[in-house]
């Protein structure tokens, strides 16, 4: 380590040398003692030594010197190095000069000349100590400052990190809150679902119990119904075997046996039919049908019954004009015959009127009106359910199995129609059957349907339908109102036809089809013909199916059996959205 330097300044050479000698003796081991004879020389030496990185802890300067006095000199030194300690050595310094040097140069001590040696050495010793302590203090201060800065930086960095972590935590918290909300919603939804499901299951259970009860009642009833003709058959066969009877009596027995057999047959046919209807095995066979054949058929069918009851008359009044329509004529007559059978069965005396009218909304409404025992209001709906009878005791009296109206209602729905009743006990009942009127006669077509779609003819409809009967119905209906139709037998065919035929204006899409169902086909078609109206047709009227269809992009969802007026309304609504081809 370099030695420190003490500079002594005095213009009197003798004093300067004696000062140097005294200082050298006491501090020569640790310090170099430099001298200068005037202030300028001393400043030069000071700067030179400083540039060479020497430590100069102390300057001892005379006061009275030529060119620059001690106070001015020490002030300059102070400006260059505030830490260097300054001792003024004087015999005749002014008070002003000393005050000056104390204030401006931070004077360490004033030593008067001639100095006392021990005082000088002690003062220098203390000055050196004080310098080194001050330096140490400064060093420590510097280190402390640096430490404090680095600490501040660390604290700032840590604060930033903590703030970021906090932000992340807040975000996480938000996420957790939203997840919690979602979970809560889901839980509520699940609870709702469980409640609905439980309710549905309870209803299904009650229904199953009711069915069970009805089936038992039905079995008792059916066994009575079967036993009655069976007894007749067995009884008359025994009589024939006994050979005690005349020829004409025997012939009468044979007729009675035949009637009983027919009754049995009818019951068996009803039972088989209702189970086929329940499993969707019965389809309507739509073809042209003339309603004017109905009166004759009914008359001959019930001729025998009416002959046996002279208190009852059957009046059938149909319009004289020919009414040709598209329907399943066999099922239509079956319904009417069931209604007339009931009317005869539940009308001991009086009259039965049968007739029809055509309504403005393209329906044919048939009615069977009797003056019989009537039906209380609370039974008006449930008598159309299978095995339901107003009073089991009455059915013992009048016969019947509780299946006729259930079959009639199912048939009416197959024809795209409905059945209902107006009745009052003791006054009689009127049963109504309404089916869509799809006319065959051109003049009437103008009035019923075609004129509702003026301006839209020559539009082309793609009918995606796998069932032949349903297609025949839709095709005939469309042709009657002058629309062109093209058929696809499954979803895949519908997509291909649509790709190859730009003239298709609208699609009637069955949902349940082989190979590709209606949902998938519609999705495919909408990819390349986004604006084409696609009307879903489904026999399964589940609300989820409907919302699924609308979500996919179906323009409308209609349930089968399709009603003509509904079809026309839907075509009208969606054809209005596409440009009209001039007729
Ligand atoms: P059923 O073979 O018992 O006549 P239906 O299903 O045809 O079965 O009729 C159900 C019930 O409705 C009958 O049992 C009867 O109580 C009532 N009903 C049906 N038609 C008439 C009618 N024209 N007048 C009074 N009651 C009727």
**Average pLDDT of the segment spanning 116-124:** 94
Ligand 1 center from residue 217 Cα (angstroms): 15
CA distance 190 to 3: 91
The span from the CA of 337 to the CA of 301, in Å, is 8
Mean pLDDT in the chain?
86
pLDDT digits (tens, 9 = 90+) for 488-516: 999 999 999 999 888 888 999 998 888 99
End-to-end CA distance of the chain: 117
User: Is cis: bond before 81, omega within 30 of 0?
Assistant: no
> Distances in Å between the alpha carbon of 71 and those of 59, 62, 121, 338, 506?
12, 9, 22, 142, 114
For a pLDDT cut of 70, what percent of the chain falls above it? 92
Q: What confidence tens digit (pLDDT) does each residue in 128-151 have? A: 999 999 989 989 999 999 999 999
* DSSP collapsed to 3 states, 266-290: HHHHHHHHHHHHHCCCCCCCCEEEE
Q: Across the strands, what pairs with 111?
A: 89
d(CA 322, CA 476): 19
Atom 18 of ligand 1 has which residue's CA nearest to it? 342
How many Å apart are CA 430 and CA 353, to the nearest integer? Answer: 9
**What pLDDT does residue 436 have?**
87
DSSP for 490-557, written as a single string: SHHHHHHHHHH-TTEEEEEEESS-SSS-HHHHHHHHHHH-TT--EEEEES---HHHHHHHHHHT-SEE
Residue 51 and residue 39 in contact, taking contact as beta carbons nearer than 8 Å: no
For residue 290, list its beta bridge partners: 324
Alpha carbon of 383 to ligand 1 centroid (Å): 7
Pair 516, 492: CB distance under 8 Å? yes
Are the C-beta atoms of residues 456 and 573 closer than 8 Å to each other? no
Residue 263 C-alpha to ligand 1 middle, in angstroms?
A: 17
Whose CA is closest to atom 13 on ligand 1?
Answer: 389
pLDDT at 397: 54
How does pLDDT run across 426-478, given as a tens digit for each residue? 999 999 999 988 776 444 444 444 444 455 556 889 999 988 777 877 887 78
> How far, in Å, is the centroid of ligand 1 from the Cα of 364?
23
Whole-angstrom CA distances from 407 to 347, 376, 385, 387, 388 are 21, 21, 9, 10, 12
- Taking alpha carbons only, the member of 323, 405, 313 closest to residue 356 is 323
pLDDT confidence band for 369 (50 / 70 / 90): very high
Is pLDDT of 544 > 80? no
Average pLDDT over residues 175-196: 91
Decide: 69 and 42 in contact? Cβ < 8 Å. Answer: no
């Amino acid at each position: 380590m370099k030695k420190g330097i003490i500079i002594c300044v005095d213009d009197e050479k003798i004093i300067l040398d004696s000062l140097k000698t005294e200082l050298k003796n006491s501090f020569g081991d640790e310090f170099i003692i430099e001298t200068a004879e005037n202030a300028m020389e001393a400043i030069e030496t000071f700067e030179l030594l400083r540039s060479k990185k020497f430590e100069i802890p102390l300057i001892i300067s005379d006061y009275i010197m030529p060119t620059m006095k001690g106070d001015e000199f020490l002030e300059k030194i102070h400006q260059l190095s505030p830490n260097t300690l300054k001792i003024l050595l004087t015999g005749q310094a002014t008070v002003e000069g000393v005050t000056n040097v104390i204030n401006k140069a931070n004077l360490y001590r004033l030593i008067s000349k001639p100095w006392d040696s021990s005082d000088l050495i002690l003062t220098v010793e203390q000055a050196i100590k004080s310098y080194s302590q001050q330096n140490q203090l400064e060093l420590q201060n510097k280190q402390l400052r640096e430490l404090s800065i680095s600490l501040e930086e660390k604290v700032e960095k840590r604060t930033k990190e903590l703030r970021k972590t906090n932000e992340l935590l807040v975000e996480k918290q938000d996420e957790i809150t939203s997840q919690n909300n979602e979970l809560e919603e889901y839980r509520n939804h699940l609870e709702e679902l469980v409640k609905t499901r439980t309710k549905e299951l309870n209803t299904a259970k009650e229904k199953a119990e009711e069915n069970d009860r009805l089936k038992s009642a039905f079995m008792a009833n059916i066994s009575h119904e079967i036993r009655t003709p069976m007894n007749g058959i067995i009884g008359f066969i025994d009589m024939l075997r006994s050979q005690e009877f005349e020829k004409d009596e025997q012939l009468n027995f044979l007729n009675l046996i035949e009637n009983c057999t027919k009754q049995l047959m009818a019951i068996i046919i009803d039972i088989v039919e209702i189970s086929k209807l329940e499993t969707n095995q019965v389809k309507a066979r739509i073809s042209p049908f003339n309603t004017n054949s109905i009166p004759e058929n009914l008359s001959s069918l019930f001729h025998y019954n009416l002959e046996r009851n002279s208190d009852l008359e059957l009046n059938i009044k149909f319009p004289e004009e020919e009414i040709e329509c598209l329907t399943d004529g066999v099922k239509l007559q079956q319904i009417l015959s069931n209604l007339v059978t009931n009317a005869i069965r539940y009308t001991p005396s009086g009259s039965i009127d049968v007739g029809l009218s055509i309504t403005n909304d393209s329906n044919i409404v048939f009615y069977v009106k009797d003056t019989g025992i009537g039906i209380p209001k609370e039974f008006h709906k449930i008598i159309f359910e299978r095995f339901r009878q107003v009073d089991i005791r009455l059915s013992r009296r009048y016969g019947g199995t509780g299946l006729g109206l259930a079959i009639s209602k199912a048939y009416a729905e197959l024809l795209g129609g409905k059945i209902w009743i107006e009745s009052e006990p003791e006054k009689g009942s009127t049963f109504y059957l309404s089916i869509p009127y799809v006319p065959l006669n051109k003049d009437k077509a103008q009035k019923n349907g075609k004129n509702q779609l003026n301006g839209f003819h020559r539009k082309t409809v793609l009918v995606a339908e796998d069932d032949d009967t349903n297609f025949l119905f839709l095709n005939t209906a469309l042709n009657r109102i002058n629309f062109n139709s093209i058929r696809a037998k499954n979803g895949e065919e519908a997509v291909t036809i649509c790709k190859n035929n730009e003239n298709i204006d609208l699609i009637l899409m069955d949902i349940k089809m082989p190979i590709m169902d209606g949902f998938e086909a519609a999705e495919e078609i909408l990819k390349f013909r986004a604006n084409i109206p696609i009307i879903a047709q489904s026999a399964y009227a589940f609300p989820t199916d409907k919302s699924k269809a609308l979500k996919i992009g179906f323009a409308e969802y209609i349930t089968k059996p399709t009603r003509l007026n509904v079809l026309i309304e839907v075509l009208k609504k969606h054809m209005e959205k596409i440009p009209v081809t001039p007729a």
